[in-house]
Amino acid sequence: MFLQNKYSRWYYKIINNAVLENRNKTQGYYEKHHIIPKSLSGSDDKDNLVLLTAREHYICHKLLTKFTENQYKKKMFLALWAFNRLSKTQQRHRITSRDYEYTRKNLSSILSKSRKGKHLKGTTLTSEHKKKISNSLKGKVVSDETKQKMKDSWKLRPERSKEHCEAISRSKKGIKHSDNTKQKMSESKKGKNPIHTQIKWTCEHCGKVGVGISNYNRWHGNNCKRKHNG
């Protein structure tokens, strides 16, 4: 779990100096720190707690990322990343851009490695899981304000490049749905957003007439404009 190196020595030197000062919160602003982090099975016992300044607290968590290994290092980077979040109860130490980059790059790398090969593609949800998702969405009402925000954000979406459109087209070629799948898709659409799916439109760029705003957004509008403008 813990490596013995210069960073561990620096860490315990800060801890020991704080303990020797016999600090208490009436003397100034201090934050409680778990000497052995709780995420690494540290306890809330008095012997495992020490009062640190905001700066010392941040430095100690940064040092912890340098003398832990494997899954423990990941936990320490997550704890360090938490210092980027503002807190109403704590006077967070302001980190430098270099510290931000150090934390973000390392955390991103660690998470990427830990998630490699773990994705939902091909994953089959259990009936119980599907039921939970269904129940969580039942009765959910979207306000007019939220609907308008969704529409506005869709209008402001960046245009797809020609290469992006071609990549999407290539990925769809050769895909065939079974009759059973087509039937399921048809049934899943029945009764959903009838007004949305029945909107008639005429593309201002190619003149094609169609039904269903999703078809317009996917094949016409900005995409059609880019296609005709070359």
High-pLDDT (> 90) share of the chain, %: 30
Highest-pLDDT range among 45-54, 108-117, 129-138, 155-164: 45-54
C-alpha span between 223 and 153 (Å, rounded): 17
Residue 89 confidence (pLDDT): 65
Return contacts of 214-223, CB within 8 angstroms, 24+ apart.
Answer: 217/154, 222/159, 222/160, 223/159, 223/160, 223/165
- Which phi and psi (to 5°) does residue 92 adopt? -60, 135
Domain ranges of the chain: 6-115, 195-230
Helix 54-64 to helix 97-115 angle (10° resolution) is: 40
pLDDT digits (tens, 9 = 90+) for 31-45: 999 999 999 989 999
Residue 117 confidence (pLDDT): 61
Count of residues for the chain? 230
Q: Sign of torsion, CA 85 86 89 91?
A: positive
Query: Residue 49's beta-bridge partner residues?
Result: 34
Query: Residue 2's beta-bridge partner residues?
Result: 68
What pTM was estimated for this model as a whole?
0.51
Residue 22 confidence (pLDDT): 92
